[in-house]
Structure 1
Amino acid sequence: MTGPLHNRVEQAFAELQSTQAAIVGAQQVLAGTSASVTTRNRALTVTVDAQSRVTEITFHSGAYRSLAPAELGALLVEAISEAQGEVVSKTMGMFQSLLPAGARLESLLAGSFDPDEMVGEALRAAQTPLPGEPGFRKQTTNPNSTEDHDE
């Protein structure tokens, strides 16, 4: 099988393999990802892993002993939340580049991502003629222009 359709299928398959390899690589990097935050008074440091689980709390001095229980609790909650936010940002940055154009990781995580819209966009793109194919239309350099030119 040769021709434009065959070339598209081969290109799509190559892109799929590349994306799969990138996902595996990102997962391996993610496995070693963590974030650590030291409180502003330097009394303690909290470390969380890629799943936002607290893996370590380090008290740097005996200063925490002079804190009221509520104050120590507030410091811990603040440090844990900040460390979790950092690791989520790192994770999102790692995986955002692997998503299809227009897909936002935030919308996937929030459950507001519309896969039907993504599939519709992909189908429209797949049906668009490529350069050299009959029906290919090149847009002008003026983004406000509604005229297209056949190539």
Structure 2
Amino acid sequence: MSEPLQERINQAMAELEATQAAVARAQADLSQASATVRSKDRVVEATVGPQGELTGLKFVDNKHQNMTGPQLAASIMEAVQQGRAQMAQRVMNTFAPFTRPGPEGSVRRGLDLDWNRIFGSALDGGNQNGARRSGRNRLRDEIDEDID
């Protein structure tokens, strides 16, 4: 095996090991992460874990006692959806460096992740209007609509 090829293989292995270590650190950091959000009416406080799971729910100062069931449900849903959106954004920011190619001369190409597929409605805070969809998904939607 020629020396330049062996050097490139060694460099690629070192980059792979460094990337694996960085991903493991990011995963460990995120496993302890959470987002706590209050509803706009400041009645409900929801805590959401790194996978979008509800880990805590608090009714602030018993303000919920003067609400109807549907009002309280709306406040809960709003807080949970905002928490999920915050956690999704945090995960995306944490893993963003792995989606970009490495520096000049690097063998790292970067991952092509479909964040909308991974997080779904969490990215838009639960809004179904698709305002924050990527251009790729909007185009896919347009293509699907044309087929009908």
- 8 Å contact 2:41–2:75 — kept in the other structure? no
- 8 Å contact 2:49–2:87 — kept in the other structure? yes
Shift of 1:40: 1.7
CA-atom RMSD in angstroms: 1.8
* TM-score (normalised: structure 1): 0.67
Shift of 1:104: 4.0
Q: Tell me the equivalent position of 1:64.
A: 64
- Structure 2 distance, partners of 1:40, 1:108, is 26
C-alpha distance after superposition, 1:15-47 (max 9, x if no partner): 000001001101110111111111122112000
Ranges of 4+ aligned residues in structure 1 off by more than 6 Å = none
What residue ranges of structure 1 are gaps of 5+ in the alignment?
112-151
Equivalences for residues 36-55 of structure 1 within 5 A: 36-55=36-55
Equivalences for residues 65-80 of structure 1 within 5 A: 65-80=65-80
Pick the structure with greater CA Rg.
1
- 8 Å contact 2:92–2:115 — kept in the other structure? no
Matching residue's letter, 1:64: H
- 8 Å contact 1:48–1:55 — kept in the other structure? yes
Indicate how the Cα distance of structure 1 residues 26 and 43 shifts in structure 2: closer, same or farther if over 3 A, else same. same
Q: Number of matched residues?
A: 110
Q: Which protein is richer in strand relative to its size? A: 1
- Structure 1 distance, partners of 2:117, 2:51, is 17
C-alpha distance after superposition, 1:63-97 (max 9, x if no partner): 10111110110111111111001001101111121
Q: Tell me the equivalent position of 1:13.
A: 13
* TM-score (normalised: structure 2): 0.68
Q: Tell me the equivalent position of 2:117.
A: 110
Q: Tell me the equivalent position of 1:130.
A: none
Indicate how the Cα distance of structure 1 residues 15 and 56 shifts in structure 2: closer, same or farther if over 3 A, else same. same
- Structure 2 distance, partners of 1:3, 1:100, is 29
Shift of 1:100: 4.9
- Structure 2 distance, partners of 1:73, 1:109, is 26
Matching residue's letter, 1:14: A
Q: Which has the higher contact order (CA 8 A, sep 6+)?
A: 2
Q: Tell me the equivalent position of 2:127.
A: none
